[in-house]
Structure 1
Amino acid sequence: MLNTIIVDDEEFARSSLYFLVQENCEGIHIAGIAKSVAEARLLLSNHQIDLIFLDIAMPGENGFELIPLAQQYNAHVIFTTAYDQYALRAIKANALDYLLKPIDIDELKLAVEKADKYIALNKKENNRNDSLQNLANNLSDRSEIRKISLPNGQGYSLIDINDIIHIEADSNYSVFHLVNQERITVSKVLKEYEEILPEQQFVRIHKSSIVNLNYLKEYNSKNGVEVLLKNGEKIAVSRRRASDFAEKVKSYIRIESDKS
């Protein structure tokens, strides 16, 4: 039996993965479930853990913060992520595996089978440590993200980032405004998406707004700086972000000009 923990900040993700593993993966014992890296550290300290299903994007500390302790306790990692980006190929090559949310049952089974075989082979610890370190380094490049998976209460909505016009903050929630006029509300703060989305395309223009420069129609400073988006919406740019925003627009125009 592989002693396993699940680490994810989303309740739906934790519970759904738990039931998927219980129903489809023999030889797995769920020793604990954590909703943060801090809780995962306690589990690793108190149990002999063979395998960790580890979410990447979590508030406070992300999944990579747990890697050193996973190495120390000789635990192996299968990453779970809602982000489809170039760096995932690095996960595929260097870690045991990754699972893209919403998790596919067949992919889960294959990942667990791979983990079982890998752990049985008892690879040398220094090789695994090097592999995990390479993984963390490779994943620092988020420029190739193409899709994100947004929890919607009943599951996930897989969204192409080019379909996002802008994102607005609503207390501790983020509201995605899409090209099809759909709105998706997610129980994550705006800062998390500011850190994940490509910064040359998505710009934080206000404490409550991120805009996709692909949909910028014009901006002016007649009554304070504001932007007009191609869908007709007007959004204010905060004074402290106005200078950075102008530079990002110039850089974006140069990049688009080079492409053409």
Structure 2
Amino acid sequence: MIVIIDDDYDFAEILKKELEKYYIEKEIKILTNFDTVFLANNSIKTLFLDIELGSENGIDLAVEYYRYNQRGNAPDIIFVSSHENYVHYSFVAMPLYFIRKEKLVTDLKECMNIINYKNRRKNAKIEVNDDTIKVSQIIFVESKSNYVYYTLDNDRKIKQRAKISAIEKTLKEYDFIRCHVSYVINVAYITAINKDYVILNDNVKISVSPARYRDVLEAYKQYRWRKS
């Protein structure tokens, strides 16, 4: 289900009609207030949230909502506002996108491009030996001698006879970056960056070559920008 939350019902109807061009078979529901009971009891994929909801602030509501819901299970939030100056303030809630009401058609088109990219990335799979694994499960790939070792998000490791350069080429389009002669990492799992290393989920520390530091930092910035 796609949900629009906006106390301006007339605009919500306009947004719904635009969304129907992209979501042909999905239900689109309009709410005029942030109904936590409804949100908790329905499977919602994407939430288009107005920032100004009467006396309430959509950004604060989104932050509170994520606080009580695991972000992996919560819907993507896309802020909608007639006030462009909110865009940087909204980053605290890490929305997927920010749509300006006066630029609805053009902003929504770009937003849907990002959603489609995210879905392709989430569902992308590769063959490793006789295994089919989701790209999104790969945290990093390490090279040793003539083999590479995939570390997955379920603590599983897979060994494959391959060159790290070939793995880098395969995974590059899915936000992976070569940070060291021996490592290719999934930018989505980065929690901190240092000139000598990156920290991934569960405090895993991976070395960064001095010559690759700027590329890693730029890849991370680009990824975070798309997320926010």
Q: What's the TM-score once normalised by structure 1's chain length?
A: 0.40
Q: Normalized against structure 2, the TM-score is what?
A: 0.45
